[in-house]
A and B are shown apart, each in its own frame.
Chain A
């Protein structure tokens, strides 16, 4: 079982809905990430939080809003999404940042479908 827990596993939402994805880790990691993965493609970085502060926003549309309430939790708030936003959303954590010798630990993702 993965040490990074994501909920829900599956989510279907309409374009006018507001929903949130949740991610939790208890490994004491200080960096947390959101990735978006389309079928047969590698994960694409969306956001990085380091010590609970947003460090990187990869020019993600404002309909995606990240939040890091504490060092163990990471949320992704969704509003007014488009069908092309349908994808697997992966959360990850690592001990440190800046390419340190620590692997990314991924959750199993939330499969999002926008109708």
Chain B
């Protein structure tokens, strides 16, 4: 069964600190993996997309990694800001399907 699991479920950090969010998946055959940020009451916004051959990709203060062998991905946030408070969702696509498989998300709260 195709599944995406994320950890931790929630996280509280102080402004300026770094953090890392984890995503484990059992999706086959793997096509690509995306990280989305969702602010409360708004739609998710894509942060990064990674394919099988990519193992690191950065978007400003966000850096995503992918280990296709262990089927794990991480999202590292550097020098966190209050505006980083949101839910972060890992989404995996399988080749030949129309479906995007969503993880349960990590709720991040950044405190001043």
Contact = CB atoms under 8 A, between A and B. Distances in A.
B104 A48 contact: no
A104 interface: yes
A106 B44 contact: yes
Interface of B is mostly: strand
B100 A104 contact: yes
| Interface residues on chain B, size class | 20 to 34
Interface in B91-112: 91, 93-100, 102-105, 107
Interface string A91-105: 010000111110111
Nearest to A106: B43
Nearest to A96: B98
Interface residues of A, number: 29
Interface of B: 31-32, 34, 36, 41-46, 49, 51, 89, 91, 93-100, 102-105, 107
